[in-house]
Chain A
Amino acid sequence: MNVSTEFIITGLFVFALAGFLGFETVRRVPRLLHTPLMALTNALSAVSLVGSLVVLGREYSIYATILGFVAVVASTINVVGGFLITDKMLRMFKPKERPQKPVPGEAKASS
């Protein structure tokens, strides 16, 4: 496997900077949205799809192709399902439509 030392260094750069960027970005996500956040990052980390596609497409060997197929299916499930479910959840988060508070003192009397 030809991973050059140069790439390893570049990769560490990318990893460190993306880590900081991720930290600063995710820190700002309100607790309200933590479940959708998990669903979204899960879909994003399914970019291992990229690696699976290469393994499957190159047909190294019959075993590699089978394992690659499983890997592509598994990550596609995550990508498709992950984005759909995040969207489904986010659609439910709604701000207040109208002021719900009635005029104070008005409704108290009825029993």
Chain B
Amino acid sequence: MKDAVSYVLNPDSGRAVSIGLLYLAAAMGFVMSLKWMSDAKTARKGIMAGEIGFVLAVIGTLIMPGITGTGFTYIAIALLVGAAIGVPLGLLVPMTAMPQRIALSHAFGALAAALVGIVEYFHWQPEISGFVMAVLGIEIVLGSLVFTGSLMAAGKLHEILPQRPFVYPGQIFVNFGVLAVAIGFIVALFINPSLSWAIPILIICGLVFGVFLIIPIGGADMPTVIALLNAYAGIAAALLGFVLSNNLLIVAGALDGMSGLILAIIMCRAMNRSFRNVLFGAFGQLAEVSDEHGEMGSIRSASYDEAGEILKNSRLVVIVPGYGMAVAQAQHKVRELADTLAAEGVEVKYAIHPVAGRMPGHMNVLLAEANVPYEQLLDMEDINPEFPQVDVVLVLGANDVVNPAARHMKSSPIYGMPILDVDKAACVMVVKRSMRPGFAGIENELFFNDKTLMVFGDAKDVMGELITEVSGRRDALSL
């Protein structure tokens, strides 16, 4: 064991006990922060708990043996640089850019985990046991995979990369081939941990697999993928904990991994995908759709003043936001319309489908940004029984999540997906830029329903027009 004297703690020393206790306190802080997250009222307290946990964890780490004087200087500089980049990323990124911001942070976390694993390997090999080597190998692959995967996802979300899923024949086999190579080399390293040239191959496999994983993903699958990358990043951190004999990393990694996993499962259920299907990165397959929708009947469109009149004379209006609202950045105008309606005595609620938008909870964050009180944001299960009593549903940039074909059309790619039962309401108004079909490329039979009125235009502009119509204040200039 080289350098063992300077790096290894005597487990009975006071220092070891202090580190252990600090880490324990930090882990408890992390758990409390998640616990307090279960209620919007206590959630901010949870952040405090998490931050305290972090400070304790860093203190505990800095008293570890073997950190040199210059090492402390480097650490100080690196912390400052990281904070200098982190503060603007935390404060200046607009809410509309949140999905790509989250994806980017998964990339950073995975990069750090992968780098630490790589450095530790080259420092300690060949004195690494088979078990630790296998864990380290998986950790490096996973870290590299999440790094490129998250960058790809962020690129697609930020529309630097094309958002359309890219599918080619045999894609699954290519993906599994890359994975098989990685597993093969992990086994080889397990048998012979001194096979150091295999590490770069593992890194490359991970990086390539991360890219391949995201290529076939379309926009509507993004919530699942982001949740899954979150889970992978957490698992990578936990594996690193095994390699470094660090319980705190194991706890935090397990918490993060579980959280991502639960979110991914929720997203899968909301899209009626099997979890196995998603775990192996086979999503996006459903994008291939036949074009045989044929004639669905005629559509009825409504002018702004017709739509405004109907809205004003209803008792209960439910707004169904979708990705279109995020794209048009219409959330503030939506709130304004809701306020105007409320002033006219109309009750307004929001129906949030679990996969509306591009990440779990996307619509909730946007509407919260627009100061919509969270009591008005209702989950699918809570609002669905209410639709028969609803006078008007205002569908705003949502498409597949309100398509009744999911209930009965077995040939439809979204068949079986739980949807918002908006067609049970007395009247449905769909705000849409054009008749272009949604992500799945299928016609939405809701649009051809007798109860449905199409209001064409950009979501934000339409909201503005409706506000004027409902409030009856049309200023002379816009005439």
Point out residues on A near B: beta carbons under 8 Å.
Answer: 1-4, 7-8, 10-11, 14-15, 18-19, 21-23, 25-61, 63-65, 67-97, 100-102, 104-108, 110-111
Contact = CB atoms under 8 A, between A and B. Distances in A.
Contacts of B120: 1, 51, 55
B253 A45 contact: yes
Interface of B: 1, 4, 7-8, 26-27, 30-31, 33-35, 37-41, 43-44, 46-47, 50-51, 53-54, 57-58, 60-62, 64, 66-68, 70-72, 74-75, 77-79, 81-83, 85-87, 89-91, 93, 95, 98, 101-102, 105-106, 108-109, 111-113, 115-116, 118-120, 122-124, 127-129, 131-132, 226-227, 230, 233-234, 236-238, 240-260, 262-263, 266, 312-313, 339, 342-345, 347, 352, 354, 359-362, 364-365, 368-369, 371, 373-377, 379, 472
B111 A71 contact: yes
A68 B109 contact: no
A69 B373 contact: no
A10 to B, nearest CB: 7
Contacts of B33: 40, 44
Given A38-B102, A44-B256, A79-B54, A3 B242 contact: yes
A57 B67 contact: yes
A25 B35 contact: yes
B328 to A, nearest CB: 19
B354 A48 contact: no
B58 A50 contact: yes
A26, A27, A44, A55 interface centre (most CB from chain B within 10 Å): A44
A64 to B, nearest CB: 5
Given A18-B255, A41-B256, A75 B82 contact: yes
A85 B183 CA distance: 37
A107 B250 CA distance: 59
A66 to B, nearest CB: 9
Given A8-B131, A41-B255, A58-B67, 16 more contacts: A1-B127, A1-B128, A3-B242, A14-B254, A15-B241, A18-B250, A21-B255, A30-B39, A34-B263, A41-B234, A42-B105, A45-B256, A63-B122, A80-B83, A83-B90, A95-B375
